[in-house]
Structure 1
Amino acid sequence: MIIPYGRHEIDNDDVNSVVEVLENKFLTQGDVVPEFEREVSSFCGAHHAIALNSATSALHLACRALEVKRGDIVWTSPISFVASANCAIYCGAKIDFVDINPNTNNIDPTLLKLKLIKAKKNNQLPKVVIPVHLCGLPCEMSTIWELSKEFNFQIIEDASHALGAEYNSTRIGNCKYSSITVFSFHPVKMITTGEGGMALTNSREIYERIKLLRSHGITKESKLMDKEKEGPWYYQQIELGYNYRMTDIQAALGISQLKKLEKFILNRSTLAERYIKNLKSSKFKTPLIPNNAKSSWHLFVVKISLNSFDEKRILFEYLIKNKIQVNLHYIPIYSHPFYKNFGFKKEDFPNSEKYYKEALTLPLFSNLSFLEQDKIITKLEKFSNK
């Protein structure tokens, strides 16, 4: 049996929650989505939450809510899924990247400041910066927040990996250091709704705008209309929006999963500690966790010291042959064919290039057994000894 790199965990409570909605009158646009939003905003400590059909949609509407448009510039990390950058392109903006810190694999605040100083001289400052909490490890948000005040940019936290993570003893998602935080509920994430995402904010204005945009730009609120209602049926489309809604079926699963989140994180943390303790070969560099942060351990990425990229390919093939599904999170965004058209140069991102050559994502999920994990560790050590 193959050990996957990630896997959801569904129990009878989850199934029963979904069945209850299926037997109800509303499968979508009922009461369950607002309940899920309240549960997540309360858990994280944010004022508002808007559930959406994916984190990609949440990132897109976050950019729209901050009025990102043609001619604007957005910066993010090159070591992320492409959605972290695509959201700016959707709005017609230009995208650029800030290299990572090799210890955390997140945006390097020092390099961010140097890039901001240069951009200010050239009148090319970003409108928005999107830090990515890679693998569930929070970025150095207080420093980025101070830079945002100095250089006048907005912050969207891409916390797709980081539900349940903590920074400075508070939960990611409270938006203390950002205008908007985005989560993902994809099946391999901390909790799942099948597909789904959520945007959190402390701004009532941003909340109302994202809520409007997720449902075609349609409103039934008189105060937003250009004339009086013609009747109780009346609505108006006041701008171009999208169908980015989450269903009540998905939200019911999310509510049930959220109740188990702390258990999931505890299990993942235990497994991460076992990897760190038992991967003894000097070829494997395990993650470092700063004192002021608590990772949600969405992913466990090791860096491997090998003689060549070909050796990494051989290691991948060796592990897959032994029914261990490893992965690589991520290929630098700027190296994809679509982004090559923008003229990015690899030499501008030396830490990201080194990361790509060394990184390997090992299986990590809440119900990974110690027996399965021991097999992974044994095969890695055996390969390294060769």
Structure 2
Amino acid sequence: MIEKLAINGGKPVRDTYLAYGKQYIDDDDIKAVVDVLKGDYLTTGPKVKEFEDTVANYVGAKYAVAVSNGTAALHTACLAAGIGEGDEVIVPPITFAASSNCILYCGGKPVFVDINPDTYNIDVEKIEGAITVRTKAIIPVDFAGQSVDMDLICKIADKYNLTIIEDAAHALGSEYKGEKIGSIADMTEFSFHPVKPITTGEGGVIVTNNEELYKKMLLFRSHGITRDSKLLTHNEGPWYYEQLHLGYNYRITDIQCSLGLSQINKIDEFVKNRREIVNRYNEAFKDIEEIITPREDEFSNSGWHIYVIKLNLDKLTCTRKEIFEALQVENIGVNVHYLPVYLHPYYEKLGYKRGLCPEAEKLYERMLTLPLFPKMTDKDVEDVIRAVKKVVDYYSMENCPL
């Protein structure tokens, strides 16, 4: 017998709402922040460098520059790469707008390359066809935490002398060929928004093995100003500083970095828990023909920032919107990641048109993000599974009473 949906007056699976993502803060995190609040430095102090060094060491990079948020990190990386007026940068469309906005901030032009319909990452085989004499960089995105094929992207970048800025906002703790993401691209960006693998409230970081890029990013993070005697045009005394570039105030605080230092101690546990939840989802949905679970390339070991299913609409009597709304009323906080960037009204005003990336647009109509965060309980996970099965069963082509 088909169970009556809550949206139609039935009893919801849960009595309380379960968000799709949520930070986890414990007493150690709180103590770390309080200790800084009681100390001498709230910003531009020692915790910033300590956090940078810790992140760099964790991912296997030489240098790290922590900034105020993930978008600032991408912008800073683009500035360091020298992206300017008229330069083209290749980027996938299934991502948050910041991945391409950072190109616009520099006067460049985002060139959207369609996705692989199986992994939802950029289709590496289509990158070369999008390269022109104006192409300056590639911004591959590790969607949901799954690594892109960095070996192939590096070959393309080397062939055309392009900079790689890896958008790994979803991927702290994820691996590529057994190594942590963060040590291959010219620059790799991570985000510390509350729903990300770890949080600093807001925050971001760029890691690199290139000392020249590292020094540029330090300047751009803080107004383009330096006190480094080796960089000054002249020196009037120990108080003296100069602005060498038009930089930004993208500094992160010691308060945020103290939280980040405490959080990164738990990153391996967080990733382990996320992977276990994903395994439970995959097992629960594997035989449901109305649902397509995420497929991961063998070279990737994702930390699973988000869990995205694809709805097989040919087997359903409804749209994605109806599934979404029904699950929300069951108190399951589903979401959608993402509207293809070029379909946002601002990008349409820039001349981007529907039909540019057919695979991305087709995916967008079918994708649905289920709740996933490290401290979900067994009951939380079972509630999600039960609600998805309940709603999909109701709208199944075979079972739907409509």
> Per the shorter chain, which TM-score range?
over 0.9
Distance between the aligned counterparts of 1:169 and 1:367, measured in 2?
A: 25
Aligned-partner SS, 2:320: helix
In 2, distance between residues paired with 1:212 and 1:114?
35
Superposition deviation, residue 309 in structure 1? 9.9
1:369 aligns with 2:374: no
Gaps of 5+ in 2: 1-15, 395-402
Q: What secondary structure sits across from 1:348 in the alignment?
A: coil
Per the alignment, in what secondary structure is the counterpart of residue 361 of structure 2? helix
Kindly state the Cα deviation for residue 324 of structure 1 after the two structures are TM-superposed: 0.9
Question: Which moves more between the two structures, 235-244 or 338-347?
Answer: 338-347
Instruction: Give the distance between the partners of 1:187 and 1:90, measured in 2 at CA.
Output: 25
Residue type of the partner of 1:33? V
Using the alignment, how far apart are the partners of 1:383 and 1:285 within structure 2? 15
Partner Cα separation in structure 1 for residue 318 and residue 159 of structure 2: 44
Answer yes or no: is 1:145 the counterpart of 2:154: yes
- Give 3-state SS (helix, strand or coil) of 1:381's partner: helix
Q: CA deviation at 1:347?
A: 2.2
For 1:157 and 1:342, how far apart are their aligned partners in 2? Answer: 24
Identity level (%) = 44
Distance of aligned partners of 1:310 and 1:42 in 2 relative to their CA distance in 1, 3 Å threshold? same
Letter in 1 for 2:52: E
Pick the aligned partner of 1:252 from 258, 283, 299.
258
**1:13 and 2:25 aligned:** no
Q: Which deviates the most, 230-239 or 240-249? A: 230-239
CA contact (8 A) 2:94 2:339 kept: yes
Which deviates the most, 265-274 or 376-385? 376-385
Match 1:103 to one of 109, 112, 118: 118
Q: In structure 1, what is the equivalent of residue 243 of structure 2?
A: 237
> Shift of the alpha carbon at 1:92?
0.6
Give, in whole Å, the separation in 1 of the partners of 2:392 and 2:330: 15
Partner Cα separation in structure 2 for residue 244 and residue 185 of structure 1: 14
CA RMSD of aligned residues (A): 1.2
* 3-state SS, counterpart of residue 27 of structure 1: coil
- CA distance, structure 2, for counterparts of residue 38 and residue 285 of structure 1: 40
Aligned match of 1:348: 356
> Structure 1 residue 112 and structure 2 residue 121: aligned?
no
Partner in structure 2 of residue 131 of structure 1? 140
Matched, 1:191 2:198: yes
1:303 to 289, 300, 310: 310
**Is the 8 Å Cα contact of residues 309 and 357 (structure 1) preserved in structure 2?**
no
Q: Confirm or deny: 8 A CA contact 2:90 2:127 kept in the other structure.
A: no
Q: Deviations over 1:192-211 (max 9, x none)?
A: 00000000011111101100
Deviations 1:241-260 (A, max 9, x none): 11100100000000000000
Deviation at 1:240, TM superposition (A): 1.3
1:275 equivalent in structure 2: 281
Asked if the contact 2:327–2:391 (Cα under 8 Å) also holds between the matched residues in 1, the reply is no
Helix, strand or coil: the match of 2:65? Answer: strand
1:266 is the counterpart of 2:281: no
Report the equivalent of 2:214. 207
> By how many angstroms is 1:346 displaced?
2.6
2:95 is the counterpart of 1:87? no
Q: Which amino acid aligns with 2:153?
A: I
Given candidates 62, 67, 71, the residue that maps to 1:56 is 71
Q: How many residues align?
A: 377
Residue-by-residue CA offset, 1:331-368 (whole Å, 9 max, x unaligned):
00010000012322332311101110110000000011
1:339 corresponds in structure 2 to 347
Deviations 1:75-112 (A, max 9, x none): 10100000000001000111110100011100011111
- Amino acid of the structure 2 residue aligned with 1:385: D
Matching residue within 387, 392, 398 for 1:379: 387
Measured in 2, the distance between the counterparts of 1:188 and 1:270 equals 18
Secondary structure, aligned partner of 1:13: helix
| Runs of 4 or more consecutive aligned structure 1 residues displaced over 4 Å after TM superposition | 307-310
Deviations 1:47-74 (A, max 9, x none): 1000000010010010000100001111
For 2:42, the equivalent position in structure 1 comes to 27
Q: CA deviation at 1:303?
A: 0.2
* Alpha-carbon distance in structure 2 between the residues aligned to 1:287 and 1:233: 56
1:242-288 CA-to-partner distances (Å, cap 9, x unmatched) read 11001000000000000000000000000000000011321111111
Counterpart of 1:127 in 2: which secondary structure? strand
SS of equivalent residue, structure 2 residue 309: strand
Matched residue type, 1:165: S
Aligned to 1:73: 88
How many angstroms apart in 2 are the aligned matches of 1:282 and 1:372? 23
1:346 alignment partner, SS class: coil
Q: Distance in 2 between matches of 1:244 and 1:151?
A: 31
1:314 aligns with 2:322: yes
**Preserved contact between residue 104 and residue 287 of structure 1 (Cα < 8 Å):** yes
**Aligned counterparts of 2:228 and 2:124: Cα–Cα separation in 1:** 43
Q: Which residue of 2 aligns with 1:294?
A: 301
Q: 1:382 Cα shift?
A: 1.4
Distance 1:335 1:289 in 2: 26
TM-score w.r.t. the length of structure 2 is 0.92
Distance 1:210 1:4 in 2: 35
Q: Distance in 1 between matches of 2:357 and 2:128?
A: 15
Query: 40, 46, 57: which is aligned to 2:61?
Result: 46
Q: Which AA in structure 1 matches 2:72? A: S
